[in-house]
Chain A
Amino acid sequence: MSRLHDMGGRYGDGPIPVPRNKNNQVENSEPTFKHEWHAKAWAITLAAGALGEWNLDVSRHYRECLPPKDYMNYSYYEKWLAGLTNLLVDKKLISIEELKKFISLVQEDTSTEDLKENVKLDKRTWLAKDVQKTLGWGGPSLRKTDITPLHKIGDNVITLKYNPNENVIGGHTRLPSYAMGCEGKIFSYNGTHVFPDKNAHGIGENPLPLYTVEFKASELWGLAAENGNDKIYLDLWEPYLKIKT
């Protein structure tokens, strides 16, 4: 079964919030960050991630695991912040007591300047001088392995009809529920990539073959498809797929 983040195909959402300019033309260049706190929430999440205590799949899973009511009510960067807060506490980088103390400080508008002065940086802390280098390198998920992929381009496959995570009930996966139990065709093979279903739970990278799989709109949506011949492509790991017999 799915979580709220897994919203592909869901009914009920209204028009796309497309920004338009004075002349009612689609606006292509809105500010990178609408509010200063958006920029801060984003940058703090990246900087905390660089401490090396978790990976990208773990941080995605923490956002997905927010209680459904919170997930729906929070704006985008509020989700990031909530996921980050839970991670910081779970990974023991901060304690709930410290968190409560600092919440009181900022709520009472107590000056915190002295708390931020003459602080000795942790040896894991990401330094400004390393930012460009680290961003340029990124975090590639492609791994060299000697695994031979099971499927060939053009093969017909069927996706599993339930959450494929074999290790954790309700665990992280990148097979969206709208494409579960559907027939598709292998469109391309992309090498072996870190497997999020395990990596999100700290049980190893376990790189596995990753395919791009083509689905006909009619297969995913039946009669509701706008145009049955339109295609939807998903990047799916081998354990998500069965051979069509």
Chain B
Amino acid sequence: MNSNNDHNLHRGQGHKKDDAHSHLPSDPELRVKAIETLLLSKGLIDSKTLDELIDTYENRIGPQNGAKVIAKAWVDENYKKRLLDDATSAIRELSYQGRQGENMVVVENTADIHNVVVCTLCSCYPWPVLGIPPTWYKSDEYRSRTVREPRKVLSEFGLNIDPKIEIKVWDSTAELRYLVLPIRPDGTENMNEEQLAELVTRNSMIGTGLPENSK
């Protein structure tokens, strides 16, 4: 056993009595302001970078990206094959790649299988295709219960899965990021890719919902 006591190295078993975070004010807005101002004054962060980051995930990266991937898989059998075979490359064909989506895996819902994604240890989520996770995904309730009682959890989203359908829960414990390929709703044969993408909801790509128009 490594006997190194350097707190920087491991934080190991406990915490220091005088941990820095214990000095933070109780109002979170003031906490952020204090740290932001300090880092800005030391030149360790640039406010333009913060603006660019926030703008990117508020306006450019989000579930609309994943919806395009799903719609393409629905209309193009070869693309769907590539997507299930090597999701990272297939998703990159649409120029979605990078942070928190470096290793993508797509899991397909069928008449017999329903997939749902969770991260019990933190909040791992495929950013390039879904953006920043919603509050419920990061909640203790979702993180603790989904692996143990997925059917009950899904019912709280209004999704009642037939007992004959097998549920597969994907707990994102490493750097693989999961995206669910939902079943294309019936009666959408005449829709084009763009119209289909409109039906693909965020929750349907996590497994806690179905696309719009689904029965």
Residues in A lying within 8 Å of B, measured CB to CB: 5-10, 12-19, 25-26, 28-35, 37, 39-44, 46-48, 51, 60-63, 65-67, 70, 75-78, 81-86, 88-91, 93-94, 96, 98-100, 102-103, 105-107, 112, 115-116, 119-122, 124-128, 131-132, 134-142, 166-171, 174-176, 178, 190, 193-194, 196, 201-203, 210, 212, 220-221, 224, 226-227, 229-237
Asked if B94 CB lies within 8 Å of chain A CBs, one says no
With contacts A40-B36, A85-B24, A132-B56 taken as known, whether A126 is within 8 angstroms of B31 at the C-beta atoms is no
Task: Given the known inter-chain contacts A6-B121, A136-B97, please indicate yes or no for A81 contacting B171, CB distance below 8 A.
Answer: no
Do B8 and A176 touch (CB < 8 A)?
no
How far is B126's CA from A66's CA once the two chains are assembled, in angstroms? 25
Pair B37/A105 contact, Cβ less than 8 Å: yes
Given A28-B201, A32-B57, A47-B49, decide whether A103 and B25 contact each other with a Cβ distance below 8 A: yes
Looking at the complex, which one of A43, A115, A126 makes contact with B41 (CB distance below 8 Å)?
A: A115
Contact A141 B141 (CB under 8 A): no
Count chain B residues whose beta carbon lies closer than 8 angstroms to a beta carbon of A: 101
Indicate if the CB atoms of B24 and A103 lie closer than 8 Å: yes
Shortest distance between the CB of B66 and any CB in chain A (Å): 12
Given contacts A29-B202, A226-B149, contact A170 B12 (CB under 8 A): yes
A32 touches B97 (CB 8 A): no
Bitwise interface map of B from 99 to 132 toward A, beta carbon under 8 Å scored 1, else 0: 1111100000000000000101111000000011
Which A-B residue pairs are the 9 nearest by beta carbons? A8-B120, A235-B174, A82-B21, A128-B48, A89-B20, A138-B98, A141-B175, A170-B13, A138-B99
Q: A18-B136, A43-B50, A141-B174 are in contact. Are A231 and B169 (CB under 8 A)?
A: yes
Q: Are B34 and A99 in contact (CB under 8 A)?
A: yes
Whether the Cβ atoms of B35 and A16 lie closer than 8 Å is no
Q: Is B51 an interface residue (CB 8 A)?
A: yes
Q: Once the chains bind, are B103 and A142 in contact (CB under 8 Å)?
A: yes
Question: A220 near B147 (CB under 8 angstroms)?
Answer: yes
B12 touching A168, Cβ below 8 Å: yes
Using known A-B contacts A89-B20, A136-B98, determine if residue A230 contacts B103 with beta carbons closer than 8 Å. Answer: no
Q: Please, which residue of chain B has its CB at the minimum distance from the CB of A194? A: B175
What are 10 inter-chain pairs, A to B, with CB distance below 8 A? A7-B120, A9-B120, A16-B142, A33-B58, A86-B19, A122-B42, A125-B49, A190-B174, A203-B9, A236-B174
Q: Does B167 contact A (CB under 8 A)?
A: yes
Chain-A contact segment, one of B75-83, B151-159, B180-188: B151-159
Beta-carbon contact of B28 and A75 below 8 Å: yes
Give the Cβ gap from B164 to chain A, nearest Cβ, in Å.
Answer: 10
**Interchain CA distance A119-B41 in the complex, whole Å:** 6
* Known contacts A82-B21, A100-B23; is-contact A193 B174 (Cβ 8 Å): yes
- Bound CA–CA A19/B158 (angstroms): 12
* Chain A residue nearest in CB terms to B101: A138
Q: Would you call B11 an interface residue if the criterion is a C-beta within 8 Å of the partner chain's C-beta atoms? A: yes
Out of B43, B144, B156, which one reaches A8, CB within 8 Å? Answer: B144
**Smallest distance from the beta carbon of A238 to chain B beta carbons, Å?**
12
A86 CB contacts on chain B under 8 angstroms: 19-21
B145 is contacted by which of A13, A33, A202, A231 (Cβ under 8 Å)? Answer: A13
Residue numbers in B under 8 Å from A8 (CB-CB):
118, 120-121, 143-144, 147-148, 171
A174 to B172, CA, bound (A): 9
- Considering only CB atoms, which chain A residue lies closest to B168 in the complex? A231
A227–B121 Cα distance when bound, in Å, is 23
- Assess whether A48 is in contact with B44, with CB atoms less than 8 Å apart: yes
CB distance from A77 to the nearest CB of B (A): 7
Taken together as a complex, chains A and B put the C-alpha atoms of A107 and B24 apart, in Å, by 11
* Chain A residues with CB under 8 A of B45: 44, 47-48, 125-126
Partner of A44, one of B36, B139, B156, B169: B36
Q: Contact at B38–A99, with CB atoms within 8 Å?
A: yes
